[in-house]
Amino acid sequence: MYINNVLLHFNNSYIGGLNMITLFLCIKIFFVRIIDVSLGTIRTIMTVKDKRFIAAFIGFFEVLIWFLIVREALDKNDSQILIALFFALGYATGTYIGTYLSSRFIKGNFTVQVITSSRRDDVVKIIKESGYGVSVIDVKSSDKKIDKYMLFIEINKHNFNHLKKIIKKIDNKAFIVVNETRFVQNGYLNK
pLDDT, average across residues 136-145: 75
Q: Phi and psi dihedrals of 143, rounded to 5?
A: -90, 5
Q: Tell me 13's DSSP state.
A: -
Would you give the DSSP letter of residue 151?
E
pTM: 0.59
Residue 20, SS3?
A: helix
Q: How far apart are CA 171 and CA 37, in angstroms?
A: 41
| Cβ atoms of 155 and 167 closer than 8 Å | no
Average pLDDT, the chain: 79
Q: What is the mean pLDDT of residues 18-22?
A: 74
Quick: pLDDT tens for 69-117.
Answer: 888 777 766 667 888 888 899 999 999 988 888 777 777 778 888 887 7
Query: pLDDT grade, residue 175 (50/70/90)?
Result: confident
pLDDT at position 11 is 52
DSSP 3-state assignment of 138?
strand
Mean pLDDT score, 144-164 = 81
